[in-house]
Amino acid sequence: MDPLTIVIAVVVAIVGIPAGYLTRRFVAERRIASAEDVAKRMISEATKEAETAKKEALVEAKDEIFSLRNEAERENRERRSELQRLERRLTQKEESLDVKTDALEKREHQLSSREGQINKLQSEIEETYENQKQLLEQMAGMSSEEAKNILFKRIESETKHESAMMIREIESKAKEEGEKKARDIISLAIQRCAADHVAETTVSVVPLPSDEMKGRIIGREGRNIRAFENLTGINLIIDDTPEAVILSSFDPVRREIARLSLERLIVDGRIHPARIEQMYEKAREEVENHVREVGEQATFETDVQGLHPELIRVLGRLKYRTSYGQNVLQHSLEVSHLAGMMAAELGADVKLAKRAGLLHDLGKAIDHEVEGPHASIGAELARRFQEAQNACHIIAAHHNEIDPQSVEAVLIQAADAVSGARPGARRETLESYIKRLERLEGIAESYEGVEKTYAMQAGREIRIMVKPEDVDDTKSAVLARDIAKRIESELEYPGQIKVTVIREHRTVEYAK
């Protein structure tokens, strides 16, 4: 590079640097001065605006204070007005209370005066009452307590008489209406449940193809007939009746099994102990199945549900049981229908009446196996197989072994009597029936002190009226026991007979 150029550059740099510095300083000072002027101007304007805002705020505050002051003064005026109004009302009430107080004081004074007069009059009345009372006692010759007792006794006597007359009239009307209603219900039930009855026997007759068959039934040295009777438990009667043999047994189920067995043996023709046993087993199984089917059919006919299977089986056995020639199962079905109809008419429990009616003679199916009345046996059997207590009670009470405790129990008694007493239902001649009742009454009338006797419920009960002057209460108990023992020893009868001794003392007076 040229040295001159370098020198020039150096000189220029030396001269230019101070000049640039001065120039920049001058420009900066000018700008600072201008900024200060702007700042001062802005501060001045802000100060003016603040003063203006301050003045406006003061004016607004003064206006707000003025309005608040006016509002407060208005509220004060209203409160003063309300207080003045309340003060006037209080003043008026005080004046009113003062007037009422004065009136009450006057009233109290008047009442005090009247109370004194009343006390005076009361004392005068009491004195007059005592004087009159003493005068009346002197005139009547008795004290007031004695007169009161006489009056009370007279009123009591008249009241008892009137109440007795009223009770008698009510009882008479109730009895008439009850008898009419009962007749209507029973007649309606009988009309709706009309059934035919066929008398049945306690023996079975088996026809034979020829008299030669009798010898085969007896067998060599009687071995066949002995095997047959030992196996079936019945009596086989072979007499002079042509082409027939008779089966006799107290157990109708056994008799039916024996009849089926004998008929099949006759048809088969092979009669010997082993064959008899085979036929007996088949017949027994068939009868058991038939018994179960018959029991189920009876429950379907009467719409009785939920019976224990063993009760159904026992019920089916009643088909082979008779009472005075009447089939007991048919009798039970009829009692169930009759009792259900009467219960419906009376608003009683229809289901309970039908159920108890169907089961009421259940004990007759096993009464030859268990000692006691069939009603008690049937109730115990039903209780053993979880029948309801009310149904068991009805079964036990249908012949009055125990007293009936429900409407349904009485209905079963009525239905049982209606079914058994219908014409043709039972095979017992009128003559034998009358003789049995006459004999029953004759036994009771033979004792000393007996006035009248009445055989009731088809001979199931006898009521004995005794003379009260001859038979006391102790003798009545002895008499009932003696008559019952004599009936047991001299008469033959089904079930049991209730002996009732009635001792009544009457006093009769006539008003003339």
pLDDT digits (tens, 9 = 90+) for 161-181: 777 778 877 877 777 777 666
Tokens of 252: 């109708």
Give residue 64's pLDDT.
86
**Could you report the per-residue pLDDT of 344-365, keeping only the tens digit for each?**
888 888 888 888 888 888 888 7
Q: Could you give the CA distance from residue 259 to residue 41 in angstroms, rounded to a whole number? A: 150
Question: Residues 442, 421: contact at Cβ < 8 Å?
Answer: no
Q: Could you give the CA distance from residue 376 to residue 371 in angstroms, rounded to a whole number? A: 10
Question: Residues 466, 479: contact at Cβ < 8 Å?
Answer: yes
Question: Residues 324, 427: contact at Cβ < 8 Å?
Answer: yes
Question: Residues 460, 399: contact at Cβ < 8 Å?
Answer: yes
Give residue 203's pLDDT.
62
Tokens of 125: 């009345």
Buried residues in 223-253 as b, exposed as e (16+ CB within 10 A) = ebbebbbebbebebebeeeeeebebebebbb
Give residue 197's pLDDT.
45
Tokens of 387: 């029948």
Question: Residues 453, 441: contact at Cβ < 8 Å?
Answer: yes
Question: What are φ and ψ of residue 207, in 5° steps?
Answer: -75, 150
Q: Is 249 left (phi over 0), alpha (psi -120 to 50) or beta?
A: beta
Q: Could you give the CA distance from residue 478 to residue 450 in angstroms, rounded to a whole number? A: 13
| 430-445 helix and 473-490 helix, angle to the nearest 10 degrees | 140
CATH number for 431-503 (one of 3.10.580.10, 3.40.50.10680, 3.30.110.70, 3.30.300.20): it is: 3.30.300.20
Could you tell me the pTM of the whole model? Answer: 0.48
Ranges of residues in the chain whose predicted pLDDT is under 50: 194-200, 429
Q: Could you give the CA distance from residue 267 to residue 315 in angstroms, rounded to a whole number? A: 31
Question: What are φ and ψ of residue 427, in 5° steps?
Answer: -95, 80
Q: Is 460 left (phi over 0), alpha (psi -120 to 50) or beta?
A: alpha
**What's the CATH number for 203-421?**
1.10.3210
Q: Could you give the CA distance from residue 95 to residue 494 in angstroms, rounded to a whole number? A: 105
Beta carbons within 8 Å of 228's beta carbon, 6+ residues apart: 217, 236, 258, 261, 262, 276
Give residue 336's pLDDT.
87
Beta carbons within 8 Å of 404's beta carbon, 6+ residues apart: 393, 394, 397, 410, 413
For residue 217, how far is the Cα from the chain centroid?
A: 61
Give residue 414's pLDDT.
83
**Pairing mode of beta strands 461-466, 203-207:** unpaired
